[in-house]
Amino acid sequence: MSKKELYKQKMQAQLDEWEAEVVRFKAKSSGASANVQLELNKELNALKGKIGQGKTKLTELADTSEDSWESIKVGLDSAWDSLRAAVSDAKAKFKG
């Protein structure tokens, strides 16, 4: 398996994990008051948007050739760092 494919699989697995987190967050928020639910839903929607951006980046990766995929890897890594931070922030908010 190529480095590109391994990298893509790793990123897809991370996206799948984050999507599962969103489902858990949604379940946790269901017992909260209406005002808290509104705030948590805003957070979830923002997180879903970032995950959607991550999916777009993965599509871009899939569309690149084996020879040129590493040129977009830096941008992907940056997007993943941003998404990772957003998930971490959401975890902190949903713990409370």
72's enclosing H/E stretch is helix 70-95
How many separate domains does the chain show? 1
Whole-angstrom distance between the N-terminal and C-terminal Cα of the chain?
A: 43
Question: Could you list the residue range(s) of the whole structural domain that residue 33 is in?
Answer: 3-95
CATH number of the domain enclosing 35: 1.20.5
- Per-residue pLDDT at 7: 92
CA angle at residue 41 from 21 to 93, to 5 degrees? 60
Read off the pTM: 0.83
The number of helix segments (H) and strand segments (E) in the chain equals 3, 0
Query: Which tens digit of pLDDT belongs to each residue from 36-87?
Result: 888 888 988 999 999 999 999 889 888 988 888 888 888 888 888 998 998 8
